[in-house]
């Protein structure tokens, strides 16, 4: 019940707030400036009382400044709550609060050669804190928080510092377990990464950019479907960008991102079978497909306009970008033709297929790009096994990206290289875990790991800072997001290919179960559908064949290979 005068102006936040205690003190200034820091690890409320009991005291006197760095144990989205008992003369005190996705980011000054920023979310700020009061500050992605008492000759008795964790409270309906705990950890980390980015809308990253980038949504969506099922944040985000992008503009200013919008609708319809929602896209979808069908030159090559973009690591390889866009255009027009068949839009369907007939006459060179090779394979333009041997399997998990890594894994599955794909997941995504990650990153390069310190420790002398010293393009140094939803691809991939769950008919009415264990002995898990949860367990027999136990709702037809 709300006040009548607010009626019509209230919107319910789909997220919840939870308080999280810090898990450890990473660092603090000397014992003369910070007294009893371990009190901050006690489980306390944010409601202050009149009398201080066992406080942590920040005290500035002489040349010393009181500072403490807290670890909340995992990446979070939100801010912090600071509860204070007494201050000097009962006056407000000024505190500086720095949020960091790594220890070193939380300790950094703004700017500098390591590029600490307040872009998209303020993560380095100052706040006045009252005596006998509770203050909240921050709305960003973080794991670590540094608090400095800034006023000279002052003190503050701190009762508690708690993270204010803001997220969608969703059950994890999907699951994955196997005899390799590293893969289990990777599946869970990908699920948590995309979960944090399911805010009011589906974001790219919780620190940066906190925006709806349609291309990013595709691997995010595939992971969400495998973990949470059909969540409303997906169509809500698709519709937001549709409504802000009148044709003939390209979504997010990038032609490939408009193609991802079509591919997302194909995946969403295949999973949900929601024809009513698909029908709401009719006008925009057919207009966009007709526009895309025109992007074919007389030589049967794609002619998509700028911005021409696949992902950042391939952004300087123009031939690879052409190969990727050419392949994506084929994939998109085929998907569009399928959707038009559902909507009985025969004219646009015919336009799509006619354009595909031209495009398949040109087979671009992948230009030694794993991203381009993956899309060529997924478009059916060349033999996946040949592309895997010549490009994708070369040098293991190097020359990868966290975004297009998902499509490389998909293409390697098409090539039948399940063992190679599993090794790639272990090596590439697993290396982030080895460096202290609790979520997966905007980008990653195995070359960065040499002599690099973990993100959850102060960088020892002689070591490289994996966060501040690396990155590239728009994510150099501390601007690099360490919680990026597009990096969650292994979660979707493991559910699809190791558990073997593949939707064949819209609404999950028909589902194929075709497990590929690679070098695993067993795997088990669950997969949510609109008709209920599918549960599977696969065990490898001594002769290499697989015994499967499958439990599925009666409404779902299960197909075996």
> Which has the closest alpha carbon to 72: 147, 176, 127?
147
pLDDT of residue 8: 85
Query: Is the distance from CB of 170 to CB of 231 less than 8 angstroms?
Result: yes
Name, in order, each residue with C-beta under 8 angstroms of 308's C-beta and a sequence gap of 6 or more: 255, 256, 321, 322, 325
pLDDT of residue 62: 79
Residue 305 in any domain: the answer is no
Residue 124 in any domain: the answer is yes
pLDDT of residue 4: 84
Residue 34 in any domain: the answer is yes
305 burial (CB, 10 Å; 0-12 / 13-18 / 19+) is exposed
Peptide bond before residue 307 is cis, with ω within 30 degrees of 0: yes
> Which has the closest alpha carbon to 259: 289, 297, 233?
289
Residue 444 in any domain: the answer is no
DSSP code for 252: G
Q: pTM for the complete prediction? A: 0.97
Query: Is the distance from CB of 243 to CB of 509 less than 8 angstroms?
Result: no
The 10s digit of each residue's pLDDT in 449-474 is 999 999 999 999 999 999 999 999 99
Cα(485)–Cα(470) distance, integer angstroms:
20
Residue 47 in any domain: the answer is yes
Domain count of the fold of the chain: 1
Sign (positive or negative) of CA dihedral 109, 113, 114, 117: positive
pLDDT at 164 over 90: yes
347 burial (CB, 10 Å; 0-12 / 13-18 / 19+) is exposed
- Express as a percent the part of the chain with pLDDT over 70: 100
Name, in order, each residue with C-beta under 8 angstroms of 554's C-beta and a sequence gap of 6 or more: none
Q: 56-65, 75-84, 255-264, 551-560: which range is least confident on average?
A: 56-65
The 10s digit of each residue's pLDDT in 489-499 is 999 999 999 99
Residue for token pair 């264990």: 517
User: What long-range pairs does 5-13 form, CB within 8 A, spacing at least 24?
Assistant: 13/200
pLDDT of residue 61: 87
The 10s digit of each residue's pLDDT in 193-238 is 999 999 999 999 999 999 999 999 999 999 999 999 999 999 999 9
Residue 59 in any domain: the answer is yes
- Give the burial string for 432-451 (b: 16+ CB within 10 Å, else e): beebbbbbbbbbbbeebeee
CATH of the domain at 86: 2.60.120.260
Residue 184 in any domain: the answer is no
Mean pLDDT of the chain: 98
Query: Is the distance from CB of 68 to CB of 40 less than 8 angstroms?
Result: yes
Tokens representing 245 are 């992008």
pLDDT at 44 over 90: yes
Mean pLDDT across the stretch 276-300? 99
Length of the chain in terms of residues written: 561
> Which has the closest alpha carbon to 489: 380, 376, 413, 553?
413
The 10s digit of each residue's pLDDT in 475-518 is 999 999 999 999 999 999 999 999 999 999 999 999 999 999 99
Domain housing 22 = 16-166
Helix, strand and coil percent figures for the chain, each rounded to 5: 35, 25, 40
- Express as a percent the part of the chain with pLDDT over 90: 97
Residue 160 in any domain: the answer is yes
Cα(402)–Cα(404) distance, integer angstroms:
6
Cα(208)–Cα(442) distance, integer angstroms:
9
| Residue 318: pLDDT band with limits 50, 70, 90 | very high
pLDDT of residue 162: 99
| Residue 5: pLDDT band with limits 50, 70, 90 | confident
Tokens representing 106 are 């939380």
């Amino acid at each position: 019940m709300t006040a009548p005068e607010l009626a019509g102006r209230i919107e319910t936040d789909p997220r919840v707030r939870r308080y999280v205690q810090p898990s450890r003190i990473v660092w603090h200034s000397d014992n003369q400036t910070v007294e009893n820091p371990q009190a901050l690890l006690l489980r306390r409320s944010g409601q202050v009382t009149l009398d201080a009991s066992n406080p942590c005291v920040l005290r500035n006197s002489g040349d010393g400044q009181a500072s403490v760095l807290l670890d909340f144990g995992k990446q979070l989205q939100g801010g912090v709550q600071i509860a204070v008992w007494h201050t000097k003369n009962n006056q407000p005190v000024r505190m500086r609060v720095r949020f960091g996705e790594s220890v070193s980011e939380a300790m950094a000054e703004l700017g500098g050669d390591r590029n600490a920023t307040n872009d998209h979310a303020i993560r380095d700020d100052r706040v006045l804190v009252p005596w006998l009061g509770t203050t909240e500050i921050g709305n960003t992605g973080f794991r670590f928080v540094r608090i400095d008492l800034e006023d000279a000759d002052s003190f503050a008795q701190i009762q508690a510092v708690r993270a204010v964790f803001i997220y969608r409270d969703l059950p994890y309906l999907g699951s994955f377990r196997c005899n390799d705990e590293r893969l289990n950890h990777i599946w869970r980390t990908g699920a948590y990464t995309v979960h944090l980015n399911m805010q009011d809308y589906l974001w790219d990253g919780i620190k940066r950019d906190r925006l709806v980038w349609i291309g990013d949504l595709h691997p995010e969506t595939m992971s969400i479907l495998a973990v949470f099922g059909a969540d409303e944040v997906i169509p809500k985000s698709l519709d937001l960008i549709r409504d802000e992008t009148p044709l003939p503009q390209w979504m997010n200013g990038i032609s490939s991102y408009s193609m991802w919008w079509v591919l997302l609708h194909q995946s969403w319809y295949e999973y949900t079978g929601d024809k009513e929602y698909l029908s709401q896209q009719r006008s925009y979808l057919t207009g966009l497909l007709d526009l895309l069908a025109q992007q074919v030159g007389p030589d049967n090559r794609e002619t998509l306009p700028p911005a021409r973009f696949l992902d950042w690591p391939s952004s300087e390889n123009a031939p690879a970008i052409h190969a990727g866009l050419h392949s994506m255009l084929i994939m998109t027009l085929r998907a569009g033709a399928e959707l038009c068949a559902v909507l009985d839009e025969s004219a646009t369907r015919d336009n799509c297929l006619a354009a595909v007939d031209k495009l398949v006459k040109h087979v671009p060179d992948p230009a030694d790009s794993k991203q381009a090779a993956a899309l060529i394979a997924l478009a059916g333009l060349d033999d996946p096994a040949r592309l895997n041997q010549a490009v994708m399997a070369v040098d293991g998990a190097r020359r990868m990206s966290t975004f297009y890594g998902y499509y490389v894994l998909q293409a390697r599955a098409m090539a039948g290289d399940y063992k190679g794909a599993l090794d790639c997941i272990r090596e590439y995504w697993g290396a982030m875990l080895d460096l202290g990650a609790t979520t997966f990153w905007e980008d990653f390069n195995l070359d960065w790991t040499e002599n690099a310190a973990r993100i959850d420790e102060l960088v020892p002398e002689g070591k490289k800072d994996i966060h501040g010293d690396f990155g590239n393009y728009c994510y150099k140094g501390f601007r690099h997001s360490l919680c990026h939803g597009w990096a969650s691809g292994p979660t979707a991939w493991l559910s699809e290919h190791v558990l073997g769950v593949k939707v064949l008919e819209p609404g999950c009415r028909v589902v194929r179960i075709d497990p590929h264990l690679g070098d695993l002995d067993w795997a088990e898990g669950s997969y949510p559908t609109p008709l209920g949860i599918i549960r599977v367990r696969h065990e490898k027999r001594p002769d290499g064949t697989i015994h499967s136990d499958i439990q599925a709702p009666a409404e779902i037809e299960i197909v075996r290979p």
